[in-house]
Amino acid sequence: MSAPLLELRRITKSYAGVHALRGVDFDLQPGEVHALLGENGAGKSTLIRVVTGAHQPDRGSIAIEGKRVTNLTPSAAQQLGVACIYQQPALFPDLTVAENIALRLEPSTGLRLVHWSARRERARNLLARIGASISPETEVRALSMPEQQLVEIACALGAGARIVIMDEPTASLTQKEQHLLFAVVRDLRASGVGVIYISHRLDEIFTLADRVTVLRDGESVGTSLVGDINEAGLIRMMVGREVTQIYPPAETEPGEVVLALKGIGSSACPVHDVTFDVRAGEVFGLAGLVGAGRTELARILFGLTPADRGEILLNGRPVILHSPQEAVAHGIAYVPEDRRRHGVVLEMPIAQNMSMAVHRRIFPGTWLRFGTERRHALDFIRDLAVKAYGPDAPGGSLSGGNQQKVSLARWLATKPKLLILDEPTQGVDVGAKSEIHKIVRRLAKQGLAVLLISSDLPEVLGMSDRIGIMRGGTIAAVLPGKADAQEVMALALGTAK
């Protein structure tokens, strides 16, 4: 057998004392699709950063095509044929497709003439090779996310990449685009390229990959041929325990309808004709693929992108939500998906983060009361078991799970009627994850209506009293809580009858 394209041995990497990778082995053969699987925070992205040269491993060795490389830099990795297609492509929005491809492929010397026709021609050829119908003249800002990914793949092809890394490439693709992408991946494989394929979607791994490696808590749990393993086995490897046991059971009967949506839609985002209701004491799960419009719906309900069609009823009364302030005034709370950008102000102490949505209540007359604020924070730190050195710790100094608790505390303080949780356990460690689940269950028991958006299918299934499945910007179906995972996935994918 020829030397593997890529061979990682005993890779260890830690950030500020926390081990992201501990002694991971990984290899990639030519003409192979090797899937990399693991929960969020298992170390996949760190591994990728090591391969692309973005980060240096603390220990361990990297060999590319049999040759050991040290001090891999991004440009060196590129020259050795490593290309990475990120979920959020790093393209130049103001420049054309042709130029985006050219800037990646042409040498970065400044005094060189630009051949626009050659640039366009090359872009056209590369895009044709992956079957993408994108004009090289288009500005990238006008492209959809999947189209941008195709441009990235064209760049990788053009660079003659031998090792192509795809980080959740189908996350925002439509069915048709997915099939197109799969065809591209198979083409790459046939031409001897090695593909590292990262995905949360097990069905994709079974249709596409040759081998699969599972990471958990920074360690490699094992590598297996895809034919030798089934879904349940993979899930066991990922979570390391039986999945169904970790979710706290529902204890209460749902009460009055708190939120009712009737044909909600907005022209500013791809959400249309959404109709469902959420009751007090109920956890209503929203399942669906990334890009199905779940976060967009949450943004509508929080007044960030106001709805311009349909009706929103809160406790039976129609309301208009044009700004977050109005949403908050009506008792809606939104714990956003992107903690670091939206959920917590990283530079501010957690006490200030926790009081931010309740200024009016705990600071009557707008005067700050530091004692009240501190007590308020200490209460929540105790209640939610936030691990921090105190109320003065800046939000950015906390781990992901604890930041999430701070964000949650901020909104619980508003004593909301409806709590929207957007991917509340993404990038959160296992312990904090189950704590958050318990908190959510406790809140429901107290009579809160909870709208839970999650891409973690076992989580939605385990936590929800009812599940709404979104697809293409609208609700495809509403199922009872203990629904069948296959059925939910089929509805989300649009393959169900």
- Chain contacts with other proteins (rule: CB under 8 A): 56, 71, 73-75, 78, 90-95, 99, 103-104, 106-114, 116, 139, 267-268, 304, 323-325, 327-328, 334, 336, 341-349, 351-352, 356-357, 359-360, 363, 366-368, 370-371, 373-374, 391-394, 410
Nearer to other proteins, 110 or 227 (CB): 110
| Residue 12: strand pairing partners | 59
209, 327 contact by CB (below 8 A) = no
Local structure of residue 462 (DSSP, 8 states): H
Closest distance between other proteins and the C-beta of residue 110, in Å?
3
Closest distance between other proteins and the C-beta of residue 141, in Å?
9
Nearer to other proteins, 169 or 303 (CB): 303
Nearer to other proteins, 102 or 214 (CB): 102
Nearer to other proteins, 202 or 304 (CB): 304
Closest to 475 in 3D by CA, of 255, 309, 202, 265: 265
289, 171 contact by CB (below 8 A) = yes
Local structure of residue 11 (DSSP, 8 states): E
Distance from CA of residue 196 to its chain's centroid?
18
103-127: b (≥16 Cβ within 10 Å) or e: ebbbeeeeeeeeeeeebbebbbebb
| Residue 24: strand pairing partners | 11
Nearer to other proteins, 234 or 335 (CB): 335
Closest distance between other proteins and the C-beta of residue 78, in Å?
7
46, 36 contact by CB (below 8 A) = no
Closest distance between other proteins and the C-beta of residue 238, in Å?
30
Nearer to other proteins, 391 or 462 (CB): 391
| Residue 264: strand pairing partners | 274
For the chain, give the number of residues. 497
Closest distance between other proteins and the C-beta of residue 267, in Å?
7
Nearer to other proteins, 215 or 332 (CB): 332
What span, in angstroms and rounded, lies between the C-alpha atoms of 383 and 216?
Answer: 29
Closest distance between other proteins and the C-beta of residue 325, in Å?
5
Closest to 27 in 3D by CA, of 43, 11, 16, 15: 11
Neighbours of 319 (CB within 10 A): 17
CA dihedral for 257, 263, 265, 271, sign (positive or negative): positive
Closest distance between other proteins and the C-beta of residue 29, in Å?
27
What span, in angstroms and rounded, lies between the C-alpha atoms of 403 and 428?
Answer: 9
Closest distance between other proteins and the C-beta of residue 86, in Å?
9
Nearer to other proteins, 144 or 175 (CB): 144
Closest distance between other proteins and the C-beta of residue 421, in Å?
14
364, 358 contact by CB (below 8 A) = no
Would you give the end-to-end CA distance of the chain in angstroms? 46
Nearer to other proteins, 403 or 454 (CB): 403
